[in-house]
Amino acid sequence: MQSNVVLLIFACCATAQFIAASVMAVYSRHRVQYLALPWVNGIFAFILLGEAIFYQSIATFPPGILNPVILLSFLAGIFLQSIYPLGIPLPGFLQWGRMWQYASPILILLGVYLLTLLWNGGIVFLMTWEELVDHLLSVDIVCRLLAVVLSIYYIVNIFRLPRAKARSTYVPKYLLAYSTALGLSVVFYLYVVLFYDIRLLMVYHVIFTLLNLYLVFRTLETIALELPHPSIEIVEEEPTEVPEPENEEGDFNEANLQRFHRMEYWMQNNPTEWMESSFGRDRLCKEVGINRHLMLQCVRSQGYNNVHDYINRYRLEALKRLIRQGEVRNVADCTITGLGTTKTVRSCFFKFESMTLDDYLQEQSRPASS
């Protein structure tokens, strides 16, 4: 593989890791559960940057079998990745005492290996598997094989720990999926270490970077769900004059606000219309006399993503009111306000309320039962 291609891959991956670390560092200042993301992303970014410095040696130098530098760096990376999936839901796992305890097998093995090198005065370089068999009983090779076994232990934890912790605490589904994908990528990494190929190593770096970017984007999406949504403003009188686009000589935002108030007035006085599941954007345009372009423009000026979300917000508020009044007690009855299927109701409720519909029904039923 050409050294320039290796350098380009290292540079792109390191840049992506730095961006991910920087973005999550901002959020971790306000939410401690995101503290692990910038630290681990930053560590891998610096590792990739260090590899980029020695890109020519990496691209051309044959490492041999079980190269100690590659093996020990692999073991350190596996350790970081095994605690990585737990960084968001379980910040307590990253407490210093527990982390040192979790890293103790690596530290002990590393100490024994360094003492072995000092005692024997050199490293055994292996180029074929036959040479490995010949030196199988040497302390140097035994330590390397123990490093492989220990890495398997941490790989198993990448699959096991998030699911074990999910039994006692809430772990998002996307984080469990990420842990599975991360574990599979690490298994591929172990294959690269045992049967070294520079092309496979580059493929692994790209896969790992994409997985980390996916986790960052999903984290940002989770944070976005907690942002405040536009509130429904009561409009008691219908606006009489709404300027046409060609006559808007004044404030553009004021014209959008007047159109929005006309929509609000109609929605608040015609609930039986939009509670029908067939009611949509085109019908609302016809009722209020605003074309599609201007309607999308005015709802976005008030913080809604599209007209569909605007209508569903009214349906959702009506559903919450019926649940509080005790008229709706189960998920099957939640389609009464026009949200369509129960699947649509669940997804819409979580999108606007950042909690599941089942939890809200259970929460509202407690006072009645008591």
Distance separating alpha carbons of residues 130 and 135, to the nearest angstrom: 9
Tokens (6 digits) for 20: 């991910």
Q: Which pLDDT score, from 0 to 100, does residue 89 have?
A: 38
Distance separating alpha carbons of residues 259 and 241, to the nearest angstrom: 9
Q: Which pLDDT score, from 0 to 100, does residue 206 have?
A: 93
Q: Which pLDDT score, from 0 to 100, does residue 38 have?
A: 81
Three-state SS for 337-349 is: HCCCCHHHHHHHH
Q: Which residues of the chain fall below pLDDT 70? A: 1, 30-34, 61-62, 64, 84-98, 120-129, 165-171, 224-229, 239-252, 366-370
Tokens (6 digits) for 178: 């990420």
Q: For tokens 């407690």, what's the residue? A: 366
Q: Which pLDDT score, from 0 to 100, does residue 92 have?
A: 45
What distances in angstroms separate CA 331 from CA 4, 278, 349, 350, 356, one per listed residue? 58, 20, 11, 13, 11
